[in-house]
């Protein structure tokens, strides 16, 4: 999943530039050596390649030179996310199919007010379908020195104001995070609210009590997990790794639970988070949300938005190296990655083989990897009955808006874990801790759920291998009314307790 600011970067594209101009003859402007600025690409167009970005100081401005190749004309934008409130340069003819280089000036004093910079490239005719980005690595020492950027902590009220919106019509499974639903409060019901994706900043008017109750219910992992926690079975002492997007790590749900944190390519300030990272961590080890609230976490932050599996492979290799340093009795047991870095239908377009090689090494060294791949993964989504969340037989597989029938079936050899009707932690800015409820979640939410259940199992039987744990999970699963295997944490733990 992409960083959330990418999703709304188009909102201001027709607004004028702020103190920036296109460079006409840059070769005569400065004799100073240029600084090459590294970046993380998210290029979806097969004809577009962003090759190089350099910058040099020219009087009171910075001259940027972009080298590229493109088979289409595109506009170029250069802004601070999410909406360019401080820095905003747009050139509707910045990328030309018969050219390879473009240049532009930005006033130096503007950079004192920003700490993130994104560039976007899209065709003027198809802005929404042709979305290509690069994220500048502005915290490289040479770049900081040239631009004069001063890292500063963002204000959450400024951040949230960019996403606020008025909701004027109801649609099931709609994303109404930061939305004001006052205009449609008379059409809302408790059942309708259960289908929505919303957060603490959503305004429900007279239905606020219903929204709060649903969000609280969504914190329950269900399927008897809380009964196991009451028995002291919480994954205590078990080491688990997560590969996902960046987070500050200070939310009360998981504060002090991360043993080690490694950023392998997100290159975001430590005080800035994402939607996905806090979500998966809270579902695994969250104090009130997770299946294993006492697990010890190794967290590798990797950018999924690049569609390059090298970063995920680097993250897994880091976990492998960390594991080699640990004593036999404290090894990392499982890696949870809510992504599909390889295999059929993978959204990752490069270096898939590196991921497969890293998985092979991890499993040779006793670490089982849980992911969303169709070829390697064994987990699929389901959702429980919110009025009876502990009854696995009432769980339905898939998602609430898609009926499972002859045209939508799942393999019978998979295990299903809850992903919809769940509440997860929100931590976009360090110190601002909130929650998000998902009436419909993705398979991403099922992966950490299963990893946490396995961690509880290792608390009981620490010497069981990952492969054995998977076999036992499948053996002890509860069959629902549709004939699918729903994960049964209570039956799983009972089986392990009775093993000799």
Q: What is the pLDDT of residues 288-324, one digit of tens each?
A: 999 999 999 999 999 988 889 999 999 999 999 999 9
pLDDT interval class at 8 (50, 70, 90): very low
Same domain (yes/no): 466, 369: yes
- 386 and 275 in one domain? yes
Q: Would you state the pLDDT for residue 306?
A: 82
Query: Do residue 239 and residue 345 come from a single domain?
Result: yes
pLDDT at 439 over 90: yes
Q: Shortest CA distance to 426 belongs to which of 126, 199, 182, 212?
A: 199
Please check the confidence at residue 152 and state whether its pLDDT lies above 90: no
Same domain? For 278 and 420 the reply is yes
* pLDDT band at residue 381 under the 50/70/90 scheme: very high
Mean pLDDT of 44-51: 92
Q: What is the mean pLDDT of residues 445-452?
A: 98
- Residue 217 tokens read as 């219910």
Do 192 and 309 lie in one domain? The reply is no
DSSP-derived secondary structure letter, 115 = S
In the predicted structure, residue 17 carries a pLDDT above the cut 60: no
Beta bridge partners of 438: 197, 422
What pLDDT is recorded for position 135? Answer: 86
Domain boundary among 194, 216, 238: 216
**Share above pLDDT 90 across residues of the chain, in percent, rounded to a whole number:** 71
Beta strands in 190-278 (DSSP E): 197-199, 239-244, 258-263
Are 323 and 372 contained in the same domain?
yes
Taking phi over 0 as left and psi of -120 to 50 as alpha, with beta for the rest, 382 belongs to beta
Considering the chain, what percentage of its residues have pLDDT values greater than 70?
A: 90
Q: Which of 124, 147, 170 is the last residue of a domain?
A: 147
Q: Are 171 and 110 within one domain? A: no
DSSP string of 50-73, one letter each residue: EEEEEEEEETTEEEEEEEEE-SS-
pLDDT at 410 over 90: no
> Is there a single domain that holds both residue 41 and residue 169?
no
In this predicted structure, what is the pLDDT of residue 487? 98
End-to-end CA gap in the chain: 43
pLDDT score of 32 more than 70: no
Region label for 59, one of left (φ > 0), alpha (ψ between -120 and 50) or beta (otherwise): left
Same domain, 405 and 271: yes
- Top pLDDT among 142 and 409 is at 142
User: Which tens digit of pLDDT belongs to each residue from 85-102?
Assistant: 889 999 999 999 989 999
pLDDT value of position 2: 34
- The answer to whether the beta carbons of residues 445 and 424 sit under 8 Å apart is yes
- Using the predicted structure, report yes or no on whether residue 16 has a pLDDT greater than 60: no
**According to the model, what pLDDT value does residue 98 have?**
86
Dihedral of the alpha carbons of 427, 428, 433, 438, in degrees to the nearest 10: -70
Residue at which a domain ends, from 147, 169, 194: 147
Secondary element (H or E) of residue 118:
strand 118-122
Question: Could you tell me the CATH number of the domain that includes residue 365?
Answer: 3.40.50.200
Does 197 have pLDDT greater than 90? yes
Least confident of 19-33, 168-182, 367-381, 384-398: 19-33
The per-residue pLDDT for 112 is 84
Quick one: 367 and 261 in the same domain?
yes
Count the Cβ atoms, other than its own, within 10 Å of residue 70: 20
148 closest CA partner among 136, 138, 134: 138
**Dist CA 359 CA 320 (whole Å):** 10
User: What does the pLDDT read at residue 473?
Assistant: 97
What gap in Å lies between CA 365 and CA 363, rounded to an integer?
Answer: 5
Domain of residue 284 covers 225-498
19 and 142 co-located in one domain:
yes
Q: Which residue has the higher pLDDT, 227 or 32?
A: 227
Q: Which of the four pLDDT bands, split at 50, 70 and 90, describes residue 12?
A: very low
Same domain, yes or no: 179 and 278: no
What is the pTM assigned to this prediction?
0.81
Instruction: Indicate the average pLDDT of the chain.
Output: 89
CB 123 within 8 A of CB 130: yes
Sign of CA pseudo-dihedral 183, 185, 191, 194: positive
From CA 168, how far away is CA 24, in angstroms rounded? 47
Q: Count of domains in the chain?
A: 3
Q: Has residue 258 got a pLDDT over 70? A: yes
Q: Across-strand partners of 272?
A: 429
């Amino acid at each position: 999943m992409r960083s959330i600011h990418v999703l709304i970067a188009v909102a201001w594209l027709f607004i004028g530039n702020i103190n920036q101009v296109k460079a006409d003859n840059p070769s005569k402007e400065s004799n100073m050596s240029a600084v090459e600025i590294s970046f993380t690409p998210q290029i979806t167009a097969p004809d577009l390649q962003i090759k190089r970005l350099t910058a040099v100081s020219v009087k009171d401005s910075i001259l940027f030179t972009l080298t590229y190749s493109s088979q289409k004309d595109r506009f170029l934008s250069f802004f601070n996310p999410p909406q360019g409130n401080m820095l905003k340069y747009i050139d509707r003819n910045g990328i030309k199919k018969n050219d390879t280089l473009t240049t532009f000036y930005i006033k130096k004093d503007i950079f004192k007010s920003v700490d993130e910079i994104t560039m976007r490239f899209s065709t003027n005719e198809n802005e929404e379908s042709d979305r290509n980005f690069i994220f500048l690595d502005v915290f490289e020492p040479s770049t900081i020195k040239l631009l004069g950027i001063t890292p500063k902590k963002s204000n959450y009220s400024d951040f949230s104001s960019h996403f606020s919106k008025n909701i004027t019509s109801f649609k099931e499974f709609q994303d109404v995070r930061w939305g004001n639903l006052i205009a449609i409060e008379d059409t809302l019901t408790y059942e309708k609210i259960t289908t929505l994706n919303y957060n603490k900043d959503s305004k429900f008017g007279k239905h606020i009590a219903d929204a709060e109750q649903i969000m609280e219910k969504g914190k329950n992992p269900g399927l008897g997990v809380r009964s196991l926690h009451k028995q002291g079975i919480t994954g205590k002492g078990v080491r688990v790794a997560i590969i996902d997007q960046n987070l500050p790590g200070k939310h009360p749900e998981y504060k002090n639970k991360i043993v080690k944190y490694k950023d392998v390519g997100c290159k975001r300030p430590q005080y800035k988070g994402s939607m996905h990272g806090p979500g998966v961590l809270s579902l695994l080890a969250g104090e009130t949300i997770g299946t294993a609230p006492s697990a010890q976490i190794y967290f590798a932050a990797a950018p999924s938005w690049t569609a390059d599996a090298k970063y995920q492979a680097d993250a897994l290799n880091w976990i492998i190296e960390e594991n080699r340093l640990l004593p036999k009795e404290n090894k990392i047991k499982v890696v949870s990655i809510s992504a599909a870095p390889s295999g059929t239908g993978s959204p990752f377009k490069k270096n898939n083989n590196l991921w497969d090689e890293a998985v092979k090494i991890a499993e040779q060294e006793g670490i089982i990897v849980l992911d969303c791949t169709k070829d390697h993964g064994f987990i699929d989504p389901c959702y429980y009955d919110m009025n009876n969340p502990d009854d696995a037989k009432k769980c339905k597989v898939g998602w609430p808006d898609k009926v499972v029938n002859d045209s939508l079936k799942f393999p019978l050899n998979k295990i299903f874990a809850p992903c919809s009707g769940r509440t997860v932690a929100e931590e976009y800015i360090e110190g601002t801790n909130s929650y998000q409820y998902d009436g419909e979640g993705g398979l991403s939410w099922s992966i950490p759920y299963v990893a946490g259940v396995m961690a509880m199992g290792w608390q009981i039987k620490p010497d069981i291998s990952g492969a054995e744990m998977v076999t036992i999970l499948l053996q002890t699963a509860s069959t629902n009314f549709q004939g699918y295997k729903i994960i049964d944490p209570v039956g799983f733990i009972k089986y392990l307790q009775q093993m000799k």
